[in-house]
Amino acid sequence: MSDLTVNNELETQTLEWIATQQHIMQQDLWALAEINSGSYNVTGVNKVADTLAQWSKKLDCELEFIDMPAQDVVDDLGQLNQKPLGRALRLFKRPEAPTQVFFCAHMDTVFPIDHPFQKITQLEDDIINGPGVADLKGGIVVMFKALEAFERSPLQDQLGWEILFNPDEEIGSPSSSKLFPEIAQRHHLGLIYEPSFADGNLAGARKGSGNFAVVTRGKATHAGREHHLGRNAIRAMADFTCAIDNLNGQQKGITINPGFVQGGGAVNIVPDTCTMRFNIRIEHSEQQAWCEDQIAKIVANINTTDGINIELHGGFGRQPKVLSPANQELCKLVQSCGKSLGLSLEFLPTGGCCDGNNMAAAGLPNIDTLGVQGGNIHSADEYMHLSSLTTRSQLSALILLRLAQSKDLSWLQRKGMEHQSC
């Protein structure tokens, strides 16, 4: 602790207390990461929510479970289905305090219940490998510890908070994204606990994203006897796929990725159905209209083919996160807190999306990579640095203490929200 330059005794005490919590944080992380909570494992996601509800007793806060509507999905056979999702959990405290912070962390992971990657393995003294240890169960542990530390301080009356634990971030927050505008309007800033980049730096601007599913339907016939009467759905999908892939490179910052295709069966039958899924990333919100327009033209063109019908589902779920002036100020605050801990933190743009996009779309400045330091996320090589449980909890605790101590938070002023400086 001797190399820390902190502003006052309270900050030093808080950081020292967090440093005594490393072992407890590791136990909490093990408990959470070894509950499978793949996005569609409703029982597992709900078990994580129940565990967090138990943990919330340490924070002495209010609690609400929120049922989430099922997700509409086009299955591999082109049929529209509904997939149930786990519940969201909302914790909140002191909604009357002058500064209000919206915390968010997702409970789901990309690893389904039948995935072989289910347990934590210690790789080195400071490094573990495990499902969701970085993305983002380590971040949940960090967030709780930072809030626990803040609640021990005499500054608590200056700052109220609300946490949203959502069940569906890894599939694009299809249901929970609808909660963001309402929650965002009662807060001044957002803090999200996605992992930092592997080198410890944080995410700044983020691209927007859209997920789409396309189904082509034709006519099945015997490939030998009546080939001329068949209408080949795979050929129509191939035309569609080439056409959208050709949009790549036409505008800077837009990428289109056909990522899944399924169709047909026996090779002596002209295939009558084909399903394809693709993702689009955009840098500016105006690019959404350009993409939608181009795709609509391609769909209309394929629909003129005799005997072929093409349906498009899905859309843009996340707007690009552009750093507003208030967001840039918030980045500076986080950098100065990092500096006090000996961390030199850069904010780097990324093509990836997260709920930071949803907060920004709701007008809320936010930092979305305050979780642990780790890497290889979304793979069975996912790892994290155990020591970052302490350093990142200290970082968040400092952010909260400095917000609560600040004499001037006018840069966080939001339209329609009276902010009283403390």
Summarize as ranges the residues that interact with Zn ion (CB under 5 A). Answer: 135-136, 194
**Smallest gap from residue 195 Cβ to Zn ion (A):** 7
Nearest alpha carbon to residue 377 among 159, 139, 74, 110: 110
**Smallest gap from residue 132 Cβ to Zn ion (A):** 8
- How far apart (Å, rounded) are the C-alpha atoms in residues 144 and 107? 14
Nearer to Zn ion, 172 or 230 (CB): 172
Nearer to Zn ion, 101 or 203 (CB): 203
Nearer to Zn ion, 93 or 137 (CB): 137
Nearer to Zn ion, 28 or 194 (CB): 194
**Smallest gap from residue 91 Cβ to Zn ion (A):** 19
- Cross-strand pairs, 103: 163, 191
Structural contact between residues 258 and 301, judged by C-beta atoms closer than 8 angstroms: no
Indicate the residue whose CB is closest to Zn ion. 135
**Smallest gap from residue 40 Cβ to Zn ion (A):** 16
Nearer to Zn ion, 18 or 171 (CB): 171
**Smallest gap from residue 142 Cβ to Zn ion (A):** 13
Structural contact between residues 113 and 28, judged by C-beta atoms closer than 8 angstroms: no
Contacts of 98 (CB under 8 A, 6+ apart): 158, 159, 419, 420, 421, 422
Q: How crowded is the C-beta side of 136, counted as CA atoms within 13 Å?
A: 28
**Smallest gap from residue 136 Cβ to Zn ion (A):** 5
> Residue 78's CB: how many other CB atoms inside 10 A?
21
Bond into 136 cis (ω within 30):
yes
Q: Are strands 208-217 and 121-124 parallel, antiparallel or unpaired?
A: unpaired
**Smallest gap from residue 65 Cβ to Zn ion (A):** 21
Buried b / exposed e across 29-57, counting CB within 10 Å, b at 16+? bbebbebbbbbbbbebbbbbbebbeebbe
**Smallest gap from residue 126 Cβ to Zn ion (A):** 22
Nearer to Zn ion, 174 or 271 (CB): 174
**Smallest gap from residue 248 Cβ to Zn ion (A):** 26
Nearest alpha carbon to residue 133 among 159, 111, 165, 102: 111
**Smallest gap from residue 371 Cβ to Zn ion (A):** 8
Q: Are strands 347-350 and 255-263 parallel, antiparallel or unpaired?
A: unpaired
Region class of 410: left (phi > 0), else alpha (psi between -120 and 50), else beta: alpha
Nearer to Zn ion, 369 or 394 (CB): 369
Nearer to Zn ion, 77 or 380 (CB): 380
Distance of CA 143 to the CA centre of its chain: 15
Tell me the three-class secondary structure of 66-119, residue by residue.
ECCCCEEEECCCCCEEEECCCCEEEEEECCCCCEEEEEEEECCECCCCCCCCCC
Sign of CA dihedral 98, 61, 371, 343: positive
Buried b / exposed e across 269-288, counting CB within 10 Å, b at 16+? ebbbbbbbbbbbbbbbeebb
Nearer to Zn ion, 94 or 207 (CB): 207
Phi then psi for residue 232, to 5 deg, are: -85, 110
Nearer to Zn ion, 135 or 162 (CB): 135
